[in-house]
Amino acid sequence: MELNEIQLDLLKEIADLSGVPTGAYNIRSNSQSIGRQSSANIEIVPKETVSGIDIFIKPNTKNETVHIPVVMTESGLKEKVYNDFYIGDNADVEIVAGCGINNCGAHDSQHDGIHRFYVGKNSRVRYAEKHYGSGDGSGKRILNPVTEVYMEDGSYCEMEMVQIKGVDDTVRTTVAELKDGAKLVVRERLMTHGDQRAESVYTVSLNGKGSSADIVSRGVARDDSFQRLDLKIAGNAECKGHTECDSIIMDNGKILAVPALEANNVDASLVHEAAIGKIAGEQLVKLMTLGLTEAEAEEQIINGFLR
Amino acid sequence: MLKINNLSFKVDTDGADKEILTDISLEIPDGKLFVITGPNGGGKSTLAKLIAGIEKPSAGQILFNGEDITGLSITERARKGIAFAFQQPVRFKGIRVEDLIRLAAGKELSLTEACAYLSQVGLCAKDYIHREVNASLSGGELKRIEIASVLARKSMLTLFDEPEAGIDLWSFNNLIDVFRAQREEISNRSILIISHQERILNIADEIIVLENGRLVQQGEKEKVLPGLIGTPSAVSKCQGVRS
């Protein structure tokens, strides 16, 4: 498999890869799988009726990784891709996804990735997904990821979802359902600039006794961009849920945070925190007393916040 | 050398001017440690902020090494060698202690070098270096990190605004050593500390007393300090310091 410079650049941005990954992988470029490898415990099978792949992870698979990055470099491509992860019981795996679009043309490029995770009993999954856009064409770079997580008893899932730069329009939908003792941790980072729009909608149902969720979304809206964050947790059993939206607003940015907590059980304990504000003047002043210019100070503060 | 000529600072309160500092003139020669004391609300912190460029004076002039820096920004003054340790250090989400120390040093530092600054302020470096400078740190921890970041600047003039406020007794003892070491590290470095603490006043070469925005007394420690003992300008023991 040969990768060109733009593909390599996108892979580096979204998956921190400097070439073909080790372990199981599927690399998708311009709607084609350009490289695929299964391992002894992880099998990747293309879907037959729709675009996408099924990933089967055997029970008890430990310390293995799956990379499924997507890159798009042709202007005007639009695709909807279904990737389903079937994770056996007692597994411990890392899954790295992500999509990079380079659009130098006049037509919109769009990738809608629907990822479904079926996490087996007592399994642990770490999932990282980065979205990135580049290219100076007038065509938009559009990403609408849907993430569904179905967690069995005692499972643990940690998701890092990041969109830092260059995505013009996004609607991110995350749905999770947790059984007894399952735990979901989400760290989302969103930065919008120019006239970008980003919406992120979470619906987390804590259905099992002792289940818990901790969802933290940090965002920075610069220039004329817009962000909407809908974070909803429903507590349907004895459970613990925490959501937090923490946003920095700059220039003419607009941010709408819509927290929602729904307690349907007397033993549900749910907390929401939300804060939106500009960069604190004292933070800028402190960094300027260290010799940074105001613009450099701003950059450091944002980079730290979105780390 | 820092030279301040006829510096005044006014603020607008409900349409009326309120004078915070009036006609302050003073000189801090190279290699000297000055302590500014005086009652609360006397204008001490404002003077330090005017020197660092955080506030702009309504009248007067500030010269640093012979150059008029009155019109320069905070950044420009910092780059010329003025460092400022805040009375109430700022918290940052996501910025780590190591980042802050590297930014302060203005260059890449090895982890060992960055840790050395934390050790100087009595923090166990490995416990703190990777932590975020956020609300998870106590006021005292934050204050020591603030001082460590200022040490990393290796500046010619360092301003400390109530460095002892909020820190425990052990680090207070340590702080005195930090100031001494600062003088030894660069022989012609000047240090300006705002403090009421007798033990800090005791290490000064000269003491300045500000009251109601005016410089009411200035002179060698031996001459000024005896007259201050027992007043709010020279607090003895550990008042204001948590034991």
ipTM score here? Answer: 0.94
Alpha-carbon gap, residue A124 to B154, rounded angstroms: 47
What is the pairing mode between strands B67-68 and B59-64? antiparallel
- Where does the pLDDT of residue B243 fall: very low under 50, low under 70, confident under 90, or very high at 90 and above? very low
Tell me if A246 and B153 make a contact (CB, 8 A cut-off): no
Backbone angles phi, psi at A165, to 5 degrees: -155, 145
Alpha-carbon gap, residue B198 to B234, rounded angstroms: 5
What is the pairing mode between strands A268-277 and A42-46? unpaired
Q: What integer pLDDT is reported at residue B180 of this predicted model?
A: 87
**Of the partner residues B75, B84, B99, the one whose CB lies closest to the CB of residue A304:** B99
Alpha-carbon gap, residue B24 to B51, rounded angstroms: 12
Cβ atoms of B201 and B37 within 8 Å: the answer is yes
Q: What integer pLDDT is reported at residue B242 of this predicted model?
A: 47
Q: What integer pLDDT is reported at residue A292 of this predicted model?
A: 97
- B12–chain A nearest CA distance, Å: 20
A contact residues 284-303, partner B, Cβ 8 Å cutoff: 285-294, 300-301, 303
Q: What integer pLDDT is reported at residue B237 of this predicted model?
A: 55
A contact residues 31-60, partner B, Cβ 8 Å cutoff: none
Residue for token digits 């201050």?
B228
Alpha-carbon gap, residue A262 to B167, rounded angstroms: 43
- B146–chain A nearest CA distance, Å: 10
- Taking residue B57's Cβ as centre, other Cβ atoms within 10 Å add up to 20
Alpha-carbon gap, residue A291 to B81, rounded angstroms: 9
CA triple A222-A189-B111, angle to 5 deg: 105
Q: What is the pLDDT along chain A (307 residues), one digit of tens a residue?
A: 777 888 888 888 888 877 788 889 999 988 888 889 999 999 999 999 999 999 999 999 999 999 999 988 888 888 899 999 999 999 999 999 988 888 888 888 888 999 999 999 999 999 999 888 888 888 888 889 999 999 999 999 999 999 878 888 999 999 999 999 999 999 999 999 999 999 999 999 999 999 999 999 999 999 999 999 999 999 999 999 999 999 999 999 999 999 999 999 999 999 999 999 999 999 999 999 999 999 999 999 999 999 8
- Where does the pLDDT of residue B183 fall: very low under 50, low under 70, confident under 90, or very high at 90 and above? confident
Residue for token digits 């200035």?
B218
Tell me if A291 and B79 make a contact (CB, 8 A cut-off): yes
Q: Which residue of A has its CA nearest to B150?
A: A290
Alpha-carbon gap, residue B176 to A173, rounded angstroms: 56
The answer for residues whose C-beta is within 8 angstroms of residue B51's C-beta and 6 or more apart is B2, B4, B62, B77, B82, B157, B159, B192
Beta pairing partners, A171: A199
Q: A285 contacts in B (CB within 8 Å)?
A: 54, 74, 90
**Of the partner residues A218, A246, A292, the one whose CB lies closest to the CB of residue B75:** A292
- Rounded to an integer, the average pLDDT of B121-149 is 91
Alpha-carbon gap, residue A300 to A302, rounded angstroms: 6
Residue B72: is its pLDDT beyond 70?
A: yes
- The beta strands (E) that lie in B65-137 are given as 67-68, 82-85
State how far the alpha carbon of A160 is from the alpha carbons of A11, A57, A177, A186, B86, in Å: 17, 20, 18, 6, 35
Supply the pTM of this predicted model.
0.87
Beta pairing partners, A85: A55, A117
Q: Among the residues of A217-293, which ranges form H helices? A: 281-289
